[in-house]
Amino acid sequence: MSKVFNTASEAMDGLCRTGMTVMSGGFGLCGIPENLIAALRDSGTKDLTVISNNAGVDGFGLGQLLETRQIKKMVSSYVGENKEFERQYLGGELELEFNPQGTLAERIRAGGAGIPGFYTKTGVGTLIAEGKEHKEFEGETFILETGLKADVSIVKAWKGDAEGNLIFKATARNFSPMMAMAGKVTVAEVDEIVPVGSLDPNFIHTPGIFVQRIVEAKCEKRIEQRTVREA
């Protein structure tokens, strides 16, 4: 059965359901699966738990799902670029599980590797540690963090083949390889689908065994913040 789909909507067809957990790759607006996010928005699926480093910006990326009130809970490490996120959270309309960025990455990696939990020093003595198991190792205190999994992971890659082997470009690599491993179903949006066998195995970041669906799609590639010198 072919993994290749013609459109993002087709690639997401049959996967969207109320209350599901979605992992969405990207860092700011870098490496976000914007077409798959739009397809998720158009599906009308509600009460989503979304695991992502951040929530995009107002009106773009995951920000679209906030505007349509499709997200019930965010599991993130940074939310500073989205005013609608701030408004919903402060208004009690949106649940938020904050994580230190490295902890979030490791929780996702652990989930994909079948590791149910791990101990870390990050967050000890802060609000992050409240309600979590504490344990001492070699005289230092650590807290228990749990691995994360998703019903569906959506990621954005630079190149992929029909078997789902993926190569990410530069910073766009960020959380995506880990998320691809942690999803029960992983859908990849790529700039270019190339023939099977044309990718150098030494440079494949995500093997196709972790990817169930793939689609080639054009991206807008917005710049999150533009900083220029004065004339």
DSSP class of 82: -
In tens, the pLDDT along 171-209 reads 889 999 999 999 999 999 999 999 999 999 999 999 999
With contact defined as beta carbons under 8 Å apart, do 67 and 55 qualify?
A: no
With contact defined as beta carbons under 8 Å apart, do 137 and 144 qualify?
A: no
Higher pLDDT, 225 or 91: 91
Provide the strand spans (E) within the chain: 4-5, 21-24, 48-51, 71-76, 95-98, 117-120, 134-137, 140-146, 150-161, 166-167, 183-194, 213-216
In tens, the pLDDT along 31-49 reads 999 999 999 999 999 999 9
Least confident span in 31-45, 74-88, 127-141: 74-88
Q: What is the residue-averaged pLDDT of the chain?
A: 94
pLDDT at 226 over 80: no
pLDDT for 80 equals 77
pLDDT for 123 equals 96
The structure tokens listed for 69 are 């009130």
- Residue 31 and residue 196: Cα distance in Å, rounded? 23
pLDDT for 1 equals 82
Residue written as token pair 């979304």: 50
pLDDT at 112 over 80: yes
Least confident span in 68-72, 82-86, 173-177, 193-197: 82-86
Q: Which domains does the chain have, with CATH numbers?
A: 4-116+149-216 (3.40.1080.10)
pLDDT at 121 over 90: yes
